[in-house]
Amino acid sequence: MESIGRKLRDKKKRIEDLKTVQSLEEIDKTVNNVRVYTDKAENRLKIAFPGKPSAEIMTGLKRNGFRWSPRNKTWQRMISNQAIYLAEKIQGMVGINGNFHPSDWEPLEKAMLNPDQILLGVNFPQV
């Protein structure tokens, strides 16, 4: 019985999360030739670079939960306020030449929250 109740609660929470994601405003911003946009159909926040980013950028993206999608040719992760916050910070840090110093990642990693705190609607500190 406990298992059925847990599954039911999990399904209800998933439905609530999907409704929250669907109610979020569409994002499609391009800064320094780096495009950040939402794909609500896939429940993903995507970052598209004009070419292959440097090793430092790719390492930072991976550390912050983004994964490369060969099918979409973008870096992406599930939509959340934290994903949006990090993507906009990354987008702002990338220079016109597509590079920035690895130490620029440090403030982002400090802004990462405990997974228990990653909820839609959470306000994140400015770094």
pLDDT digits (tens, 9 = 90+) for 20-45: 777 777 888 888 788 999 988 888 99
What pLDDT, on the 0 to 100 scale, is given for residue 60? 84
CB neighbours of 44 closer than 8 A, spacing ≥ 6?
Answer: 38, 76, 77, 78, 79
**What's the pTM value of the predicted model, to 2 decimals?**
0.63
Residue segments in the chain with a per-residue pLDDT below the cut of 70: 1-2, 94-127
Domain boundaries, the chain: 27-117
In DSSP notation, 56-122 reads HHHHHHHHTT-EEETTTTEEEEE--HHHHHHHHHHHHHS-TTS---GGGHHHHHHH---GGG--TTP
What pLDDT, on the 0 to 100 scale, is given for residue 97? 47
